[in-house]
Amino acid sequence: MLKLLVTGGAGFIGSHFIRYILERYPEARVANLDKLTYAGNLENLSGLERDPRHTFIQGDICDADAAAPPLDGGVDAVINFAAESHVDRSILESGEFIRTNVVGTHNLLELCRRKKVRRYLQISTDEVYGSLGDGNAFTEDTPLAPNSPYAASKASADLLVRSYFRTHGFPAIITRCSNNYGPNQFPEKLIPLFISNAMNAMPLPVYGDGLYVRDWIHVRDHCAAIDAVLRNGKAGEVYNIGARQEYPNLEVARRILKELGRDESLIAFVEDRPGHDRRYAIDPAKMEGRLGWRPRIAFEDGLRETIDWYRSNPEWVAHVRSGEYLTYYDRMYEDRGRTLSDR
């Protein structure tokens, strides 16, 4: 029987991963340690409340007293999704990013090493590689060159993970994925923000010239890749995950507006993100060649499904687009020297 500790499992990708695992391995048991920050949402786990295979524990990965007990009965693997994950928030205030992403990862590594955990997956990001020009793509050997405090905190965590493998022989693996999209993503990230703004006939704030490129992967393809690494990945290795689906932000905005029957006049060019990475692109050849993983969901289909999900879940959207969410947008646009009604 597969026994996992997932951290950050009330967030976007972590909650999809838990569902993926329980569907694919009906005998599995998953403990889910999540602090429930603004991004953690138990509604993402609806339907699992009474499922005995899933145990939710509210707790902080920085806190050894919270993180140690779920390891006590022995687990087959720990998968660390817990993080502060939004670049714009790290520009506004980076303290929590260092605390959770760096100190929290260190705390987990130390606990897992002492408890002799046999497999540890660090869910990292392609942002650690920095920005690309035209043509090439990030491979696992691309040097780390993070540009935002978020990316720097994730790169720091990756270096700690590497050091635990090299120094202690701790069986850790790092995955670095490109931009995820799909249901349940917090509407501060590009795609869910643009979908929910378009649904409400509110402006879509496109940063700079809108020609920044991201490489999009559906969250379920990411989960399948993590599962492949969990089963067959080699300790000490890095695996890049991506679906070869690059689009400029402006094109993503136009596709969302078209799908929702809204006019392109809703596009609002706004102040650029400081330190904005121009392009990300992943070369997933290692995942494909060594682990036999392939992405399955085409962007057109995944985007349509995602839009349908946001349309069908107005309560989920209303809950998350309230309270702290509104304050954050006021602060962010104030910080960038302008006010905007397009939260």
The reply to whether 215 belongs to the active site is no
Q: Which two tokens stand for residue 174?
A: 């790092």
Q: Which part of the chain contacts ligand NAD (CB under 6 A), choosing from 4-12, 48-56, 257-265, 304-312?
A: 4-12
- In 3D, which of 334, 330, 332, 244 has the Cα closest to residue 287? 244
User: What is the distance between the alpha carbons of residues 67 and 28, in angstroms, rounded to a whole number?
Assistant: 20
- The answer to whether 223 contacts ligand NAD (rule: CB under 6 A) is no
The reply to whether 263 belongs to the active site is no
- Sheet (strand 179-181) strand order: 179-181, 213-218, 246-248
Q: Which lies closer to ligand DAU via its Cβ, residue 32 or residue 175? A: 175
Please select the residue that binds ligand DAU; options are 100, 178, 245, 306, rule is CB under 6 A: 178
Q: What's the CA angle centered on 178, arms 175 and 184, to 5 degrees?
A: 100
Contact present, 204 and 342 (Cβ < 8 Å)? yes
Q: Which lies closer to ligand NAD via its Cβ, residue 266 or residue 282? A: 282
- The answer to whether 87 contacts ligand DAU (rule: CB under 6 A) is yes
Please select the residue that binds ligand DAU; options are 19, 35, 106, 214, rule is CB under 6 A: 214
Q: Which two tokens stand for residue 167?
A: 């120094």
- The answer to whether 13 contacts ligand NAD (rule: CB under 6 A) is yes
Residue the block writes with tokens 């349509």:
304
Q: How many CA atoms lie within 13 A of 247 on its CB side?
A: 21
DSSP 339: -
What is the Cα 25 distance to its own chain's centre? 23
In angstroms, how far apart are the furthest CA atoms of the chain? 57
In this structure, is the dihedral angle defined by the CA atoms of residues 330, 40, 100 and 162, taken in order, positive or negative?
Answer: negative
- In 3D, which of 126, 96, 256 has the Cα closest to residue 190? 256
Please select the residue that binds ligand DAU; options are 81, 239, 280, 328, rule is CB under 6 A: 280
Q: Residue 34 binds which one of ligand NAD, ligand DAU, none, with CB within 5 to 8 A depending on kind? A: ligand NAD
Instruction: Please give the residues from 172 up to 211 whose contact with ligand NAD meets the rule CB under 6 A.
Output: 177, 179-180, 186
Question: Cβ 265 to ligand NAD, closest distance in Å?
Answer: 29
Contact present, 102 and 156 (Cβ < 8 Å)? yes
In this structure, is the dihedral angle defined by the CA atoms of residues 256, 243, 343 and 129, taken in order, positive or negative?
Answer: negative
Q: x/- contact string, 181-200, with ligand DAU (CB under 6 A)?
A: --------xx--x-------
- The answer to whether 85 contacts ligand NAD (rule: CB under 6 A) is yes
What is the Cα 134 distance to its own chain's centre? 24
Question: Cβ 158 to ligand NAD, closest distance in Å?
Answer: 11
The reply to whether 126 belongs to the active site is yes
- The answer to whether 254 contacts ligand DAU (rule: CB under 6 A) is no
Question: Cβ 160 to ligand NAD, closest distance in Å?
Answer: 14
Return the axis-axis angle of helices 299-312 and 249-259, rounded to nearest 10°: 50
- The answer to whether 115 contacts ligand DAU (rule: CB under 6 A) is no
- In 3D, which of 229, 240, 321, 343 has the Cα closest to residue 284? 240
Please select the residue that binds ligand DAU; options are 32, 85, 142, 245, rule is CB under 6 A: 85
- The answer to whether 82 contacts ligand DAU (rule: CB under 6 A) is no
Please select the residue that binds ligand DAU; options are 34, 60, 127, 221, rule is CB under 6 A: 127
Please select the residue that binds ligand NAD; options are 40, 70, 146, 171, rule is CB under 6 A: 40
- Residues in the site for ligand DAU, rule: CB under 6 A? 85-87, 125-127, 178-179, 189-190, 193, 205-207, 212, 214, 249, 273, 280
User: Residue numbers of the site for ligand NAD (CB under 6 A)?
Assistant: 7-8, 10-14, 34-37, 39-40, 60-62, 81-85, 100, 104, 123, 125, 154, 177, 179-180, 186
Q: Which residues are catalytic?
A: 126-127, 150
